[in-house]
Structure 1
Amino acid sequence: MRYMATYDLMETVRNTNQWLGASAQALASYPVTGLFPHPMFQVMAAWGEVTERTFSRMVTKPDWGIRTFTCRDGRDHLVQIETVVERPFGDLIHFHVPGREPKKRKVMLVAPMSGHYATLLRSTVKSLLVDCDVYITDWHNARDIPVSEGKFDVEDYTLYLVDFMKHLGPETHVIAVCQPVPLALAATAYLAAEEPAAQPRSLTLIGGPVDPDAAATDVTDFGRRVTMGQLEETAIQRVGFKYAGAGRMVYPGLLQLASFVSMNAERHTQAFTNQILKVSKGEASDHDAHNRFYDEYLAVMDMTAEFYLSTVKRIFKNREIAENTFVVNGKKVDIGAITDVAVKTVEGAKDDISAPGQCIAALDLLTGLPDSMKASHVEPDAGHYGIFAGKSWRNNIRPLVFDFIDANSGPRGKGAKLKAV
């Protein structure tokens, strides 16, 4: 019960700050303040507006905001977001574009489940949508999932990916971003042993910790330093009474957000100070750069406790993927079983979350895959976010991924022999 009380206390603090912001904005915006033309009222209203928006976004799932786009035929086409596979902890959704010619590239984008919603990959989806038939994993907020639905750990996550791949069929090209990279690799290996005909045609792994020890970062150092007992005691709470998942053990999104912000506290403080001043001067807008970034950054979701703890223990501490000892559903997953799925790794030279070396380690595990079906790319001057959503992705990495997909499409075993670069 004390964990439920702690969870509810965090929500109370968040809700109170949201109310204080709304109240300050309302009070400072009364018409009577016009009789006292003092900048204090503008600053107070601006502080209230920014504060209310900030704390309300923390419990709001962002909208995809992808409604139309112009195809190569010069026409604007509507985008319909459809759920094609529905599961308790996450769905597979499809960005269907009625009226356009079918696209040869069918892409399954595997979104991270590491504190933010799949909408974090919105710009990635938009960049792929023009040339691909796009599907993406849409993970659910654990606080909204009843305890009766059971557990969800790294093995369950892997089996979800297996089901999604089987549903889409063998001509699918999988792109995994960040956290799910090692599990997407494991899911493909699982299919290689259990149902090889259902394997995807290619697997692109972007900035993920296949071998966390290959290159140390603050993330890997934390994973090594902290004990599992410390994590359970300090990071895990029970969902409060307000939500459908009341009683479920989770790593709360608000606690995760506090960690995110503390890593760059000075930068965030400056960003919000500047935004308050801009709002007070009438220079801000609803969709300016600050709001576009923080509306997504502040929207956090709870992870199930078992998923978070098993990720730390099995992926980071025990290095089960790196050591090729990962077990799913009682069966050892042999990465070497992958023999005809082309694999490409992408890393950012300045990635401080999953440093260069962690992702490319996947290629050494693929002992059964010919070198001609392996490729790698390290993007100069790119950080973690840039390799899947920034300028580096749009201008350099995306074209390379398309070339890789095209070179490894068609009948299995007849893909172009793409050398690692």
Structure 2
Amino acid sequence: MRFMATYDLMETMRTTNQWLGATASAFGSYPAVAALPNPWLQWLAAWGEVTERSFARMVAKPDWGIYSVVGEDGRDHVVSVEKLVERPFGDLVHFKVQGRPEKARRVLLVAPMSGHYATLLRSTVNSLLPDAEIYITDWHNARDIPVSQGKFDIEDYTIYLVEFMRALGPDINVIAVCQPAPLTLAATAYLAELDPEAQPQTLTLIGGPIDPDVAATDVTDFGRRVTMGQLEELAIQRVGFKYKGAGRMVYPGLMQLAGFVSMNAETHAGAFTNQIAKVMKGEAGEHDKHNKFYDEYLAVMDMTAEFYLTTVERIFKNREIARNAFTVKGHRIDIGKITDVAIKTVEGSKDDITAPGQCAAALPLCTGVPDEMKAGYIEIGAGHYGIFAGKSWRNHIRPLVLEFIDQNAGAHAAQARKKRGKTKAGKPALKAV
């Protein structure tokens, strides 16, 4: 499978389906067809519209779509998305609210690199923005990164997080969602040992696989069944000539999407059948619930092959984080070195991707953190998506996370003032790793 031809074949299939949808929509919507009151032609036009939109979204990075936020003064304040740190494989982004005094709460959202763009956390950002300064990791699509930029595996990912935390200062409150939870924990431990004045104030881990063996899911079962050799042969391809990253080994986003859909194929099939019926009746809208969800869900990005393979091998198979045996550039990271960071885990009782217990496994690993600085929470009835972006997040989890941040506010105020004083004096904000 590791050939450019197979990558280009997938892109050709996507383009063909998009073209078929556009053709069906044009044919079924042709004015002369209106003279023929045939439901099949109406269905054809609706099917074409939904199909064209769906396949077009698979290669487009969604916009953040966050234009303003209401301030305490009752006015709408314009939001601008600014890059604070730029790196080849991902940037540190700040949602700057114009004309609003800087909020005391400062939050870094660590977005997953698991097939979707950071915009998957749009609703999470929206919900936190009125009450905090929000920063996020904006990972890049591997197909657009030239081979000359080198590799990017889980150790490089961890170093990126270390750099981003250092850039933001010790009064930052880190929230890691899903996939990056183990590596964010490792990055925090790295700072705790080698640069303690740069470690974050609080760390909230949401639905992350700290110890995948605690509770089995389809994801963990797949990791056990497939060997690394089989995985490399089945999942890895080379980027085709159409993109800047031509020749780079990746786990293609389209292949990842096929896996996502297959896990709940019946649900997705029903959703698209219902949407076609709504389009036929004229009840569908540009930004209706279906389009709002699937415009984001279908927008996928490639992962570098080495990131995907090392994640499966080291996080899921070898359980290096769970065993406290993770190394970065030859240095063994000891999670027990974390002593001055308040840690909270959040899980959903119906999470079928990261089952309850997998994320909470972080708490006993943090042997150096006092019990009063550790907290675990399980949202009853919540699935994976709901614990960071759904009703459960809005109604219960978000208030609890903000309360947790406030309870530990000011713990690193002295270090933050010291760090900012050095930066203003002309010294670099980032240290070499």
TM-score w.r.t. the length of structure 1 is 0.97
Deviations 1:293-344 (A, max 9, x none): 1101100000000000000000000000000010001110000010101111
Letter in 1 for 2:202: S
CA RMSD of aligned residues (A): 1.2
Given that 1:340 and 1:413 are in contact with CA atoms closer than 8 Å, whether structure 2 keeps it comes out as: no
Letter in 1 for 2:295: D
Aligned to 1:407: 407
**What does residue range 16-415 of structure 1 map to in structure 2 within 5 Å?**
16-412=16-412
**2:213 partner SS:** helix
Measure the CA separation in 1 of the matches of 2:215 and 2:33: 58
Share of identical aligned residues, percent? Answer: 74
Deviations 1:195-241 (A, max 9, x none): 11000101001110101111111111111111000100000000011
> How far is 1:9 from its partner?
0.2
Letter in 2 for 1:371: D
> How far is 1:413 from its partner?
9.5
> How far is 1:352 from its partner?
1.0
> How far is 1:36 from its partner?
2.1
Measure the CA separation in 2 of the matches of 1:384 and 1:265: 17
Letter in 2 for 1:333: I
Measure the CA separation in 2 of the matches of 1:376 and 1:411: 20
Given that 1:22 and 1:48 are in contact with CA atoms closer than 8 Å, whether structure 2 keeps it comes out as: yes
Letter in 1 for 2:12: T
Letter in 2 for 1:313: E
**2:136 partner SS:** strand
**1:322 partner SS:** coil
> How far is 1:44 from its partner?
1.3
Given that 1:278 and 1:284 are in contact with CA atoms closer than 8 Å, whether structure 2 keeps it comes out as: yes
Given that 1:237 and 1:251 are in contact with CA atoms closer than 8 Å, whether structure 2 keeps it comes out as: yes
**2:81 partner SS:** strand
CA 1:215–1:413: 2 relative to 1, 3 Å? farther
Measure the CA separation in 1 of the matches of 2:270 and 2:30: 28
Letter in 1 for 2:33: T
> How far is 1:409 from its partner?
1.3
Measure the CA separation in 2 of the matches of 1:124 and 1:316: 27
Given that 2:2 and 2:236 are in contact with CA atoms closer than 8 Å, whether structure 1 keeps it comes out as: no
> How far is 1:269 from its partner?
1.2
> How far is 1:101 from its partner?
2.1
> How far is 1:193 from its partner?
1.2
Given that 2:2 and 2:249 are in contact with CA atoms closer than 8 Å, whether structure 1 keeps it comes out as: no
**1:91 partner SS:** strand
Query: After alignment, is 319-328 or 28-37 more displaced?
Result: 28-37
> How far is 1:374 from its partner?
0.8
Measure the CA separation in 2 of the matches of 1:40 and 1:397: 46
Letter in 2 for 1:35: A
> How far is 1:388 from its partner?
0.6
Measure the CA separation in 1 of the matches of 2:413 and 2:276: 58
Deviations 1:147-199 (A, max 9, x none): 00000000000000000000000110000000000000000000111111000
Measure the CA separation in 2 of the matches of 1:32 and 1:355: 54
Letter in 2 for 1:52: E
Measure the CA separation in 1 of the matches of 2:354 and 2:286: 33
Letter in 2 for 1:381: G
Query: After alignment, is 269-278 or 290-299 more displaced?
Result: 269-278
Measure the CA separation in 1 of the matches of 2:118 and 2:137: 7
Measure the CA separation in 2 of the matches of 1:413 and 1:109: 20
Q: Structure 1 unaligned runs (5+)?
A: 415-421
Letter in 1 for 2:174: V
Given that 1:347 and 1:359 are in contact with CA atoms closer than 8 Å, whether structure 2 keeps it comes out as: yes
Deviations 1:53-76 (A, max 9, x none): 010000011111110122222111
Measure the CA separation in 1 of the matches of 2:336 and 2:127: 32
> How far is 1:2 from its partner?
6.0
Query: After alignment, is 151-160 or 212-221 more displaced?
Result: 212-221
Aligned to 2:423: none
**1:213 partner SS:** coil
Measure the CA separation in 1 of the matches of 2:59 and 2:17: 13
> How far is 1:378 from its partner?
0.9
Measure the CA separation in 2 of the matches of 1:49 and 1:34: 17
Measure the CA separation in 1 of the matches of 2:382 and 2:400: 15
Q: Structure 2 unaligned runs (5+)?
A: 415-433
Aligned to 1:13: 13
**1:351 partner SS:** coil
Given that 2:171 and 2:413 are in contact with CA atoms closer than 8 Å, whether structure 1 keeps it comes out as: no
Deviations 1:326-365 (A, max 9, x none): 0001110000010101111111111111111111111111
Deviations 1:101-138 (A, max 9, x none): 22000000000000001011111000110100000000
Given that 1:106 and 1:132 are in contact with CA atoms closer than 8 Å, whether structure 2 keeps it comes out as: yes
**2:283 partner SS:** coil
Aligned to 2:431: none
Letter in 1 for 2:88: P
Letter in 2 for 1:172: I
> How far is 1:41 from its partner?
2.2
> How far is 1:270 from its partner?
1.4
Query: After alignment, is 263-272 or 156-165 more displaced?
Result: 263-272
TM-score w.r.t. the length of structure 2 is 0.94
Measure the CA separation in 2 of the matches of 1:371 and 1:270: 46
